[in-house]
Structure 1
Amino acid sequence: MSHPDSFNCRRNLEVDGRTYQYFSLPDAARNLGDIRQLPVSLKLLLENLLRCEDGRSVTAADCRAVVEWLHKRSSEQEIQFRPARVLMQDFTGVPGVVDLAAMRDAMARAGGDPQKINPLSPVDLVIDHSVMVDRFADPSAFADNVAIEMQRNHERYAFLRWGQQAFANFRVVPPGTGICHQVNLEYLAQVVWSHDDDGATLAYPDTLVGTDSHTTMINGLGVLGWGVGGIEAEAVMLGQPLSMLIPEVVGVRLVGKLREGVTATDLVLTVTELLRKRGVVGKFVEFYGPGLDNLPLADRATIANMAPEYGATCGFFPVDGVTLDYLRLSGREPQRIALVEAYCKAQGLWREAGDEPTFSDSLTLDLASVQPSLAGPKRPQDRVALEDIRAQFDLLLELSGRKAELDTDFVVAGEHYGLHHGDVVIAAITSCTNTSNPSVLMAAGLLARKAVELGLSRKPWVKSSLAPGSKVVTDYLAKAGLTPYLDQLGFNLVGYGCTTCIGNSGPLPPAIADCVSANDLIVSSVLSGNRNFEGRVHPQVKANWLASPPLVVAFALAGTTRIDLTREPLGTGSDGQPVYLQDIWPSDAEVAAAVGTVAEAMFRHHYADVFSGDAAWRAIAVSPGATYPWDPASTYIKHPPFFQHIDQPAAALADIENARVLALFGDSITTDHISPAGSIKPSSPAGLYLQGLGVAPADFNSYGARRGNHEVMMRGTFANIRIKNEMLGGEEGGNTLHQPSGDKLSIFDAAMRYQADGVPLLVIAGKEYGTGSSRDWAAKGTNLLGVKAVIAESFERIHRSNLVGMGVLPLQFVAGQNRQSLALNGSERLSIHGLAAGLKPRQRLIVELLRADGTEERFEVLCRIDTAIELDYFKAGGILHHVLRQLLAG
């Protein structure tokens, strides 16, 4: 590939006898201007533009705009970013591969070459979201759950095996290996990438986008990356740049060090609360300051992981000596480590003591101020000090009108105990956020050992589980001698994957489940995850608390969240004396000694043959051929309808006339609300559809596992059991009022009736619409229901772009207006004008409102198609339609 190299900055770099070519930032700065004060994350964007300059999608003016950012500390310049690679997990990866397979079919039908549909950027798909906690607290739990997973997901896995052989540049990490973000951190990421380029070896920063919002975890390693929808990721795979505005960058200056007994989890929950209050949605966050010297790489990764929870695009940590230490520990090749050091130092990307870049905004956090915490009961930014958890739960009970039942003992059939509000029914050490961090996992194991030695045990109503993010974790827990104690408390290994945090918590024991349902109990889960949105962890568990792994074990011992663990005993020891949390909490020195047993050989052993899989994976039959042989009887993998008319010109944009409101929502509607990932309710439209095909409820699997079937997913759209449509008052569940009949229907059934009548639809919502995971089906399902536009007070970054990518128009109320100020109740007809006349990015459009009583009003909305290339996507009907039309055109 030839490069214009307008700034004459292509240079050679000698590293241990090898010559690499690179685009030198210091040399480019001679023509661009001083960039030393530029945040490191923006230096990485600048390098990307210098290297990808082609005079068309990237120009010299784009490079200058990054440097000019220093004067305003913000920019309205749109740039085209080309990540080095793409990371996927199977929930989002399966529909991605389904789309690619459907695009190949469409290309073949139109007379083109299906092989043109092929990843141009390296893609790694890690199967990590499908294992469920069906078996627990038993030595055979892991083997049993793996066997169930392989049987339950055979169709999906056969499809991915087909994709593995059909597509170039596409690797699959088989099930039972680990969580994609932890595998990325421990193995896939290289920090500095290299490949052959016109006979030379080109070195450049490792950057990526991923189809999971917690892709941001890798920023802890100095790798710039973030989550995008599967739709955007597919476009990147197919050679399209990622359109973005040069972001604002918020600096977080860290000082001091964590106090004795305070964990990385406590720190990240504090950071999440702090930054969510500050407001960093759509911005980069970059950490700097002397406190980084006291922050191990695993702690940095823990903070970076939860960037979606604090709302940022990413939470970035520059490369320094701590980075190199981790690369050595995790078994990276010496030549790669030498290249990382030499490259980062040559480029001014290396963190030096005293570095104080220029930021759009900055704030300081003293690490010594962090205190033991949880977050909940339904949002990760709602931090609660450990000592306040009892009071917080009691307040929740009071607000629910259940205060009189505080101490009521509800009978559990066939058991010697009863249940109470606030009892912990799920305690899960799970999720990439914390299972990548040896310090908190060793702390959990040490706490378990001390608890067992004092005679404590897990309460019998607690479903406990250990689901690490990689096999390395079980190695080091075993080497430290801690596994037997975790096992004795019921924290047996249940699988390597994203279990409870994604909703794969499995069923509660029948007697527990029956008691909770019969008495509508507000029970708790405590998990070391990053998400605790309503209905996500388990449909019967209404209060969900994020906590460090040692606190997960502690609450399993206590059995309730109606306790102040700083003052009240966990239980009674074998000597008859009360045992308090401080009696079993490990010291920092004990934790450090245990962490010191983690060895490079563990990483090298488990990643030596990471793509091969076990015998069951290798035995899956693979269909050959460039196009996929769709099975009409499959309930997992179905040919999607998105590209049926791709051989015809895209229709011109038209105004939206006389649309009906499909649903009217409040604030913080998450992608979990819009497109659930957990269990499928038998009485829901998706459950009824599956039963109509002969699938028994026991074999439903989950929404996440069914993402390759658009019929299931469109029926699951807005079907979350906790979603509240204001057209129905405070009632929970995915229903609506059909207009003008007034019939109460499921949102799916109403949408189908509107479609049959040719009525366009709108969704109206409050603030932070689309928070949560980068879930492409939240946009795809919205599209298939016939929703033409979503009008909200504000959007979360990924979901907004996904809506555009599926041809759904995101519109924002202008300042001072919302559904309440306009007195919207869902009975109105709305028309949106300004699309047909030549839509422009961020244009103001007029909405004409016709109320049920015949009165008319007009109000303005802001078009949240933010860039010119997004407008191109929208005009084509979506981002993949745009790519496919380009490929068909030659």
Structure 2
Amino acid sequence: MALGKDTLNTRRQLTVNGKTYDYYSLEEASKTLGDISRLPFSLKVLLENLLRFEDDRTVKVDDIKAMAGWLKDRTSDSEIAYRPARVLMQDFTGVPAVVDLAAMRQAMVEMGGDPKKINPLSPVDLVIDHSVMVDSFGGADSFQKNVDLEFDRNGERYSFLRWGQTAFDNFRVVPPGTGICHQVNIENLAQVVWTKEENGATIAYPDTLVGTDSHTTMVNGLSVLGWGVGGIEAEAAMLGQPVSMVIPEVVGMKLTGKMKEGTTATDLVLTVTEILRAHGVVGKFVEFYGAGLDNLTLADQATIANMAPEYGATCGFFPIDEETIRYLNFTSRDADRVALVEAYARAQGMWRDTNTPDPVFTSSLELDLSTVEPSLAGPKRPQDRISLSNLAPKSIELINEALGDKAGDKSPVEGKDYELSNGDVMIAAITSCTNTSNPSVLIGAGLVAKKAVELGLTSKPWVKTSLAPGSQVVTDYLEKAGLQDYLNQIGFDLVGYGCTTCIGNSGPLADEHIAAIDNKELQVAAVLSGNRNFEGRVSPQTRLNYLASPPLVVAYALAGNVTIDLLNDPIGQGKDGQDVYLKDIWPTSQEIQEIANVSLSPEMFKARYENVFEGPQQWKEIETATGLTYDWNDQSTYVQYPPFFEGMSREAGDLSDITGARPLLVLADNITTDHISPAGAIKADSPGGEYLTSHQVRPIDFNSYGSRRGNHEVMMRGTFANIRIKNEMVPGTEGGFSKYKGEVMPVYDAAMKYIDDGTPLVVFGGKEYGMGSSRDWAAKGTRLLGVKAVIVESFERIHRSNLVFMGVLPLVFKDGVTRETLGITGDETIDISGVEKGITPGMDVDCHISRPDGSVENIKLTCRIDTADEVEYFRHGGILHYVLRNLIHDAA
């Protein structure tokens, strides 16, 4: 998009290392706007964005003044149009986005338009990182076996992505086996200050992005403002649409002091997550400040920024400082770029040092780093921190609650000389993204393994161990340090580079272990170094899922059970028969730093990223289609032409009220996008499994829901199919069940019957509906099941916007009213009126609840269509319909 009008006359020049750059000066803007020096750094980035894109239509001078005016009240209800510099995708969310772009090209042709109009206008990087699964583990050949399986399973998807790589401009693909998108982003793709050529000038501006993974926020640790959005919103950003948002509140978190010996960045981020989630930061920016930043590495900052979705914030931002420059140099960034970053940040008042006055925040919290203690989080939410000293009694309490007098049961394992017990660790995974970007915790894990091997310890035989780093550089420094060999000896061999256990790609447990668990309904555990542990996510068998630092993951693999008190009980017996304790194998900070100093180098990053887009030979040999439009294959079970644009007209239709709707699900608090649109295994007896079986796909080849997001037939059958979801309409059941005319059946089957009847559907829920990963299919599947409205107490940010973008009405109860106070059972008929007269942001609508006994209750609901742009998207039936119609009219 062309740069703006610059009414405030802020465009200036900056010369760095003999090169001249144009930029939009905040200092010049302050001459009109007043002193903005203490505006939070993250809002300075947004302000610069508005200055650069002022066009008197989407961005007006009043919007710019509203940003500066934020300082007065430290909050705002002003809506702004923000345009990120680029878009980042991973393949689970990227494939359906490319499917949608291909479908839009097809629809454009069918409506007589030019398919070339459907093309990314902003740079897009898609990193294939979510498809590797831990099928093979604990062996030197595990990595190659998993890679071979990955290419075998995903040939159709990868062929489709290779088509997209050639068919679309401004679209790059990082092939499989390179690393996880967030770590590739922070180590290579991110530039901190971006540049583009326009009309003979080089424009410099902050590197910003949106990503189709909620943990896009990790790059905030490198002072790059970015957050996760739904795939639909990312597609719109690619196509030139601004991200519409209300100027956010900014919560400052002041860090002081220094981490004490024996604690890790993981312990810190779990503590931060607990504090911020309790404070309440949903929909807000969080910005870190204070002298404690001087005692954190950039990798530590990235660890904290990564988990912004877990503490509920839009982002967790760190300002540019000396550590930023050190990291850019260390990761072998271009010298001129690094010089530009520092010069630009200083010129724009975006540089932090000890002399920088604290910004002004909406509210502030403080954390003394020296108070952080060794911690885990779980068993099913990342914000539920448990100190290491309390994990054993907490686990015992949970097991007793679940099993009562059966808590002491043991189950024999067929063909093995051991039994399984409650609390046994079945999965110990050092998995990407939160922690594997942080050398200190990975070297720490390697040292724990080294000391354990030297003392004669090994992992328990029932533990499925895995190491899935976020980039190939991790392997380089672990091998150079001589630590990978020790990790291998206790089962932590390399299994792949990508997001594995954290998203449910943990692979199956051994059949004999599953049988033993099921035999006694054991409450068994997983310990992983990821960021998500929601119910049913990690593995169908593990009920207790704990997030932990990589060194603790290794320790629990050695101990084998979470009811062991690691601080006081022995982990095991060494080769001399003596008890070995955690303190005997835990490394010191000095040991870790000494190894880091000699094992990591800029040359490693340069070598690994020189040819980052080429990929392995298997990638290069994939056959793919050519042409502007995709040649859809009706027989494919991975990629299908979605029905969203079928019968689409050139003009938007009229809005209508919802009449005669029936509830499809009535759900409790904290329903995640995992519950709505699972990414795990596809069960053979589920609607999704039955569909694949009918298409001659063997269960062994089902792959995962996430890998099949390009096929709406699979995904709509998987919507609300999570094995742990509980529909209050069907008491006593667990899993994706609903009712149709009193008969209990899978949610998909009930929805199809209602669609055949012409009956609209609604979903009821509680607080924080839609928390978790930014899965567009949670909204797409909801729409395809015929759901017209979702009525809850509160929404998580991304899912609410995704519902709007798919033409589903998000509604919120008034204070004090819930599905429980209303006594919703699922037998009601729901009418929602006030929509067809026209929608305004935040308006009230009338809801009429008709019960089987003939009684009627009328309530008001708040419509959570929050901005004028969202009104337009909803009026058109979705954001992609809006974009497509605009492109057709622009060409007319």
- Kept after mapping to 2: 8 A contact 1:394/1:403: no
Q: How does 1:7-86 map to 2 (within 5 A)?
A: 7-86=8-87
Aligned counterparts of 2:357 and 2:473: Cα–Cα separation in 1: 34
Alignment partner of 1:646 out of 640, 645, 648: 648
Question: Separation in 2 of the partners of 1:86 and 1:299?
Answer: 24
2: distance between equivalents of 1:338 and 1:649?
50
Contact 1:189 1:206 in 2 (8 A): yes
- Structure 1 residue 519: deviation in Å? 2.0
Distance 1:2 1:678 in 2: 44
Q: Deviations over 1:29-62 (max 9, x none)?
A: 0001110110000000000000010111001100
Matched-pair contact (CA < 8 Å) for 2:208–2:226: yes
Residue 101 of structure 1: how far off its partner (Å): 0.3
How many correspondences in the alignment? 887
2:807 corresponding residue in structure 1: 807
Instruction: For 2:406 and 2:851, locate their aligned partners in 1 and report how far apart those are by CA, in whole Å.
Output: 44
Distance 2:595 2:565 in 1: 28
| 1:227-262 CA distance string (max 9 Å, x none) | 000000000000000000000000000000100010
How far apart, CA to CA, are the structure 1 residues paired with 2:695 and 2:774? Answer: 30
CA contact (8 A) 1:427 1:555 kept: yes
Structure 1 match to 2:659: 657
Aligned twin of 2:681: 679
TM-superposed CA distance for 1:409, in Å, is 2.1
1:76-155 mapped onto 2 (5 Å cutoff)? 76-155=77-156
Q: How far apart are the structure 1 equivalents of 2:554 and 2:408?
A: 24
Comparing 277-286 and 592-601, the one that deviates more? 592-601
Residue type at the aligned position of 2:381:
R
Residues 646 and 885 in structure 1, CA contact (< 8 A), matched pair in contact too? no
Question: Mapping of 1:488-567 within 5 angstroms?
Answer: 488-567=489-568
- Partner residue in 2 for 1:819: 819
Identify the residue that residue 745 of structure 2 maps to in structure 1: 745
Question: Alignment partner of 1:749: what SS?
Answer: helix
1:327-352, Cα deviation, whole Å (9 max, x unpaired): 01101010000000000000000012
Aligned CA distance change for structure 1 residues 582 and 855 (closer, same or farther; 3 Å): same
Hey, what's the Cα distance between the residues in 1 that align with 2:295 and 2:4?
A: 42
Amino acid paired to 1:813: F
Per the alignment, in what secondary structure is the counterpart of residue 75 of structure 1? coil
1:91-129 deviations in Å (ceiling 9; x for gaps): 000000000000000001111110110000000000000
Paired residues of 1:249 and 1:286 also in contact (CA < 8 A): yes
Quick one: distance in 2 between partners of 1:799 and 1:292?
Answer: 32
Partner in structure 2 of residue 839 of structure 1: 839
User: After superposition, what is the alpha-carbon deviation per residue over 1:124-149, rounded to whole angstroms, capped at 9, x for unaligned?
Assistant: 00000000000000000000000010
Counterpart AA for 2:490: L
Q: 2: CA distance between counterparts of 1:22 and 1:573?
A: 63
Q: What is the rounded CA distance, in whole Å, between the counterparts of 1:735 and 1:404 in structure 2?
A: 30
Matching residue of 1:259: 260
User: 2 CA distance for matches of 1:711 and 1:522?
Assistant: 34
The CA deviation at 1:838 is 1.6
Offset of 1:398 from its aligned partner? 2.1
1:386 paired residue number: 388
Letter in 2 for 1:708: G
User: Are the aligned partners of 1:284 and 1:314 in contact in 2 as well (CA < 8 Å)?
Assistant: yes
Distance 1:404 1:459 in 2: 26
More deviation, 819-828/435-444? 819-828
Aligned to 2:613, what secondary structure does the other structure show? coil
State the partner residue of 1:699.
Answer: 701
Q: Which residue of 1 aligns with 2:374?
A: 372
- Residue matched to 1:793: 793
* Deviation of 1:298 (Å): 0.1
Report the CA distance between 1:648 and its aligned residue. Answer: 4.1
8 Å contact from structure 1 (residues 262, 370) kept in 2: yes
Q: Name the stretch that deviates more: 639-648 or 170-179.
A: 639-648
| Structure 2: distance between partners of 1:136 and 1:561 | 22
**Partner SS, residue 507 of structure 1:** coil
Q: 1:224 matched to which residue of 2?
A: 225
Preserved contact between residue 3 and residue 52 of structure 2 (Cα < 8 Å): no
> Percent same amino acid at aligned positions?
63
* Cα contact 1:94–1:708 (8 A) shared by 2: yes
Is 1:783 aligned to residue 783 of structure 2? yes
Instruction: Report the equivalent of 1:869.
Output: 869
Residues 325-336 of structure 1 correspond to what in structure 2 (within 5 A)?
A: 325-336=326-337
User: In structure 2, what is the Cα distance between the partners aligned to 1:848 and 1:720?
Assistant: 30
Contact 1:655 1:833 (C-alpha < 8 Å) held by counterparts: yes
Q: CA deviation at 1:779?
A: 0.1
Query: Alpha-carbon deviation of 1:2?
Result: 5.1
Partners of 1:331 and 1:711 in 2: how far apart?
Answer: 45
Equivalent residue, structure 2, for 1:360: 362
Letter in 2 for 1:877: G
1-structure distance, mates of 2:633, 2:521: 42
The answer as to whether partners of 1:535 and 1:722 remain within 8 angstroms in 2 is: yes
Q: Distance in 2 between matches of 1:531 and 1:220?
A: 19
Match of 1:234 in 2: 235
Instruction: Give, in whole Å, the separation in 2 of the partners of 1:120 and 1:211.
Output: 17
> Tell me, what secondary structure is at the counterpart of 2:46?
helix
Matches within 5 A, 1:589-628: 589-596=590-597, 597-628=599-630
Amino acid at match of 1:668: N
- Residue in structure 1 matching 2:401, options 387, 392, 399: 399
More off after superposition, 1-10 vs 418-427: 1-10
Distance 1:649 1:543 in 2: 52
Secondary structure at 1:107 match in 2: helix
Runs of 4+ in 1 over 6 A off after TM superposition: none
CA distance, structure 2, for counterparts of residue 174 and residue 522 of structure 1: 38
CA distance in 2, matches of 1:705, 1:824: 36
Give SS of 2:542's match. Answer: coil
For 1:282-308, what per-residue CA distance to the aligned partner results, in whole angstroms no more than 9, with x for missing partners? 000000000000000000000000000
Counterpart residue type for residue 286 of structure 1:
E
TM-score by length of 1: 0.99
Whole-angstrom CA distance in 2 between matches of 1:876 and 1:133: 42
For residue 335 of structure 1, what is the amino acid of its counterpart?
D
Q: State the secondary structure of the residue aligned to 1:880.
A: helix
Q: Distance in 1 between matches of 2:757 and 2:408?
A: 53
1:695, distance to aligned residue in structure 2 (A) = 0.7
- The alpha carbon displacement at 1:837 in A equals 1.2
- Give the SS at the match of 2:644: coil
Per-residue CA deviations over 1:395-428 (Å, capped at 9, x if unaligned) read 111221x132333221000100000011000000
For 1:391 and 1:731, the matched residues in 2 are separated by 29
- Within the alignment, does 1:297 sit opposite 2:298 as a pair? yes
Q: Distance in 2 between matches of 1:134 and 1:290?
A: 45
Give me the TM-score of the superposition, normalised by structure 2: 0.99
Letter in 1 for 2:195: S
| Superposed CA RMSD | 0.7
Question: Amino acid of the residue matched to residue 85 of structure 2?
Answer: A
Name the SS of the counterpart of 1:433 in structure 2.
coil
Q: Is the 8 A contact 1:865 1:871 kept in 2?
A: yes
Q: Distance in 1 between matches of 2:3 and 2:381?
A: 49
Structure 2 counterpart of 1:631: 633
For the 8 Å contact 1:331–1:600, the answer to whether it is kept is yes
Counterparts of 1:552-591 in structure 2, within 5 Å, are 552-591=553-592
1:737 Cα deviation after fit: 1.6
1:485 Cα offset (Å): 0.3
Task: Say if 2:676 and 2:778, in contact at 8 Å, map to a contact too.
Answer: yes
Residues of 2 paired with 1:403 and 1:270: CA distance?
A: 31
Q: Who is 1:858 aligned against?
A: 858
CA contact (8 A) 1:675 1:716 kept: yes
Letter of the structure 1 residue corresponding to residue 859 of structure 2: F
In the TM superposition, what whole-angstrom CA distance separates every residue of 1:631-678 from its partner, at most 9, and x where no partner exists? Answer: 111000000000112234222111101110000000000000000001
Alignment gaps of 5+ in structure 1: none
1:881 aligns with 2:881: yes
Matches of 1:11 and 1:762 in 2, distance apart?
A: 53
Letter in 2 for 1:714: M
Listed as ranges, the gaps of 5+ residues in structure 2 are: none
Q: What is the CA deviation profile of residues 577-624 of structure 1, one whole-angstrom value per residue up to 9, with x for unaligned ones?
A: 100000000001001111212100000000000000011100001211
Cα pair 1:289 1:355 within 8 Å, conserved: no
Deviations 1:434-475 (A, max 9, x none): 000000000000010000000001000000000000000000
